[in-house]
Chains A and B, each alone.
Chain A
Amino acid sequence: MTPFTPLTYDALTIGEEFVSDTLLVTPEDVETYAFAVDDHHPWFSGASPFGGALAHPTFAGNQALRLRHSRYVVHAGLHAKMQFEFLEPIRVGMRVRSRGRVIDKYVRRGKQYMVTEFVTEDDKGTPLVRGQFTQMLIPA
């Protein structure tokens, strides 16, 4: 059982780690993402230079962004910064998982922020996407 607690600045610890559930990348998920961002590149539904259909490069971003939801009840937040490195394509049929670690938290101009680094991997542990994001916490 996961004991969920409200996310607060004070509750966050630099160095704490998160792991997502594993997601099977289905054609339907890839199609829904393509609709959401209005990008219907042919590689998302057919052949690609990498041998088969791919997900959008940013497809797994939400899996990473929601890592903190694996432990905390998140009242509201705003995304301030995002960094991606696309190491390998995310292919349809892969099972992907993201791991993250809080690397900083700070207050600037009265606003509270947390910084998380993450990696999204396939089921063999191959890194697919690395990155870092900064989220502003909106107090309850």
Chain B
Amino acid sequence: MAIAPPLAIGQELPPLEKELTQRHIDAYSGVRVRSIHTDEAWARRKGFRTTLAQGMMSTAYVSEMMTALLGAGFVKGGSMSVAFVQPVYAGDRLTVRGVVKELRAEAGHTRVVVDVWCENQHGHKTAVGTASGLAP
């Protein structure tokens, strides 16, 4: 299930494309009244143009990309640190990207550190950070 090594610093990972519908957000957050994620009127009242995806949905996308890269070495032994820098709205389309930043020895394995980010359909970054896991 994982991309075969060898990996190289600077290597770009295959990007993921994600369409965020309100139905996805509802399934993720649970539909509640007075929620900026699932109550459009409430989101507008709080100053947003429509409902927002939960930032953590982007961490799930990064996780998918890292599991595709490293398989079990991300599920057990993986890590992630992400900042959410722009809101993601219902109806947005995200591209999830990663570039290998570092390869380092760790307890008989190689830890693969990846710069990760999400961009919306306007090319604006919405989440940035790093993720890592153990190469198979």
Which chain B residues (56-73) contact chain A, with CB distance < 8 Å? 56-57, 59-61, 63-64, 67, 71-72
* Chain B residues with CB under 8 A of A23: none
* Chain A residues with CB under 8 A of B81: 81-84
* Chain A residues with CB under 8 A of B122: none
Q: How large is the interface on B (under 10, 10 to 19, 20 to 34, 35 or more residues)?
A: 35 or more
Q: Are A82 and B18 in touch, CB under 8 angstroms?
A: no
Q: Are B72 and A49 in touch, CB under 8 angstroms?
A: yes
In this complex, how many residues of chain A approach chain B with their Cβ under 8 Å: the count is 34
Which chain B residues (7-45) contact chain A, with CB distance < 8 Å? 18-19, 24-25, 27-29, 34, 36, 42
Q: Are B60 and A79 in touch, CB under 8 angstroms?
A: no
Contact residue among A62, A83, A89 (Cβ-Cβ distance under 8 Å from B76): A89
Q: Are A65 and B75 in touch, CB under 8 angstroms?
A: no
* Chain A residues with CB under 8 A of B60: 33, 36-37, 39, 56, 58, 61
* Chain B residues with CB under 8 A of A88: 76
* Chain B residues with CB under 8 A of A83: 79-82
* Chain B residues with CB under 8 A of A82: 55-56, 59, 80-82, 84
Any A CB within 8 A of the CB of B54: yes
Q: Are A36 and B84 in touch, CB under 8 angstroms?
A: no
Q: Are B76 and A87 in touch, CB under 8 angstroms?
A: yes
Q: Are A86 and B27 in touch, CB under 8 angstroms?
A: no
Q: How far is the CB of B94 from chain A (nearest CB, A)?
A: 10
Any B CB within 8 A of the CB of A19: no
* Chain A residues with CB under 8 A of B98: none
* Chain B residues with CB under 8 A of A106: none
Q: How far is the CB of B39 from chain A (nearest CB, A)?
A: 10
Q: How far is the CB of A72 from chain B (nearest CB, A)?
A: 14
Any A CB within 8 A of the CB of B77: yes
Q: Are A57 and B18 in touch, CB under 8 angstroms?
A: no
Any B CB within 8 A of the CB of A96: no
Q: Are A58 and B72 in touch, CB under 8 angstroms?
A: no
Query: In the assembly, what is the distance between CA of A37 and CA of B27, in Å?
Result: 9
Contact residue among B24, B46, B57 (Cβ-Cβ distance under 8 Å from A76): B46
Residues of B within 8 A of A (CB): 1, 18-19, 24-25, 27-29, 34, 36, 42, 46, 52, 54-57, 59-61, 63-64, 67, 71-72, 74-84, 87
